[in-house]
Amino acid sequence: MAVTHVKRAYKYRFYPTDAQAAELSRTFGCVRKVYNLALTARTEAWSLRQERVNYNATSAMLTAWKRTEELAFLNEVSSVPLQQTLRHLQGAFTNFFAKRAKYPRFKSKKKSRDCAEYTTSAFRYRRGQLTLAKMEQPLDIVWSRPLPEDMNPSTVTVSRDGAGRWFVSMLCDDPGVKPLPALDTAVGIDAGITSLVTLSTGEKITNPKSERQHRERLAKAQRELSRKAKGSKNRAKAQVKVARVHAKIADRRRDFLHKLTTRLVRENQVVVIEDLTVRNMLKNRKLSRAISDASWSELRTMLEYKCAWYGRDLVAIDRWFPSSKLCSACGMIREKLPLNVRTWACDCGAVHDRDVNAARNILAAGLAVAACGDGVRPQRSTPGGRSSAKQEVVPPQRTRAAAQPRG
């Protein structure tokens, strides 16, 4: 599948001056205030008058708010991030009415992510230097990787995480993202906890368990936080320490998943996965922590957009497909297979490793779809209206296993 004009974000860390940090902090607060005011106005308009308020109406409200004495401080920051947050709110309502998301929530000063988005009219990018509106000096960016030549950002998003780190994300049209040469290889992937993924080739990739490696350090930081008085400066410092541990865990996990998914996409033309309902699986109190640490949802998300970028096929088989119970040699299905059984023998004489057998069955089901399209469900659409690069398949019918239960 040919992919042209891919929008790609390049994210870098930067170190603002005191004046820049103060300006950005004011901008974050104004963005949050405008978002909450617009959400309140739209909610009241519907609940009291059954009236739908769109982006144009909230934009006019913003102009009126700036003229009031109470909200005159909104004029002190760039108007572009304020307009962009109204567009984001409009997108949130669009997703809500399309039943793709829940009702928009208010932004909290303590819990919400600090960020502001600038369009081309509010920043200047020249010779590797980025200058934002209302600022005289360019940002001190750490160029961990060079921005491709002849690429100009269409939007710039500045953010600050809970650990106090500042980031700038530049969205560009990247012509370098092109489909890779076609291959004749395919792989089935069985997600797990001990082994993060087991491939149909028999290879098992160990779960790095990033959260477990930092569990003691995280627990110590959280204990210190619990002993600090609420509202004190020491508590704020302790919160930053906890956030830094969480950031380190997330960074290590994301780095590992990027390397793994890039390798799988480069080495295989067809990638077959299970359509797991991670949200429901997290209700298992014994496994929820390990499942969260494995981050299967992020793994799937990365595979989806990388397959779309590089012309690969991603197939997601039905969540009820009995991949573990099904014998990949003869097609018989076991009646029961508890989780503690990692190896089992079939009546046909085949001895299976539970995870490897599941990966092989997942691959077989996916190849059946790629070959004849049997059992293919309609492709799910992305919020932008375009179909995603994956297919979903219901379990193939096996003659000898038709009367057996799924599992």
- State the DSSP string of 62-107: HHHHHTSSTTGGGGGS-HHHHHHHHHHHHHHHHHHHTTSS----PP
Mean pLDDT on 276-280? 86
Give tens-digit pLDDT for 169-215. Answer: 999 988 878 899 999 999 999 998 989 999 999 999 999 999 999 99
**Exposed, middle or buried: residue 231 (CB in 10 Å: 0-12, 13-18, 19+)?**
exposed
pLDDT at 385: 40
Nearest-CA neighbor of 393 among 377, 370, 371, 372? 377
Q: What is the DSSP letter of 335?
A: S
Mean pLDDT on 335-346? 82
Alpha carbon of 340 to those of 233, 335, 352, 359: distances in Å? 48, 15, 14, 18
| Region of poorest pLDDT, from 5-14, 29-38, 380-389 | 380-389
Would you place residue 399 in the very low, low, confident or very high pLDDT band (cuts 50, 70, 90)?
very low
Would you place residue 235 in the very low, low, confident or very high pLDDT band (cuts 50, 70, 90)?
very high
Catalytic sites, residue numbers = 190, 274, 355
Instruction: Say what percent of the chain tops pLDDT 70.
Output: 90
Predicted confidence (pLDDT) at residue 388 exceeds the cutoff of 60 = no
Would you place residue 377 in the very low, low, confident or very high pLDDT band (cuts 50, 70, 90)?
very low
Predicted confidence (pLDDT) at residue 365 exceeds the cutoff of 90 = no
Predicted confidence (pLDDT) at residue 253 exceeds the cutoff of 80 = yes
Give the predicted TM-score (pTM) of the model: 0.82
Is the CB of residue 89 less than 8 Å from the CB of residue 38?
yes
pLDDT at 372: 64
Alpha carbon of 105 to those of 73, 228, 304: distances in Å? 24, 29, 27
Predicted confidence (pLDDT) at residue 363 exceeds the cutoff of 80 = yes
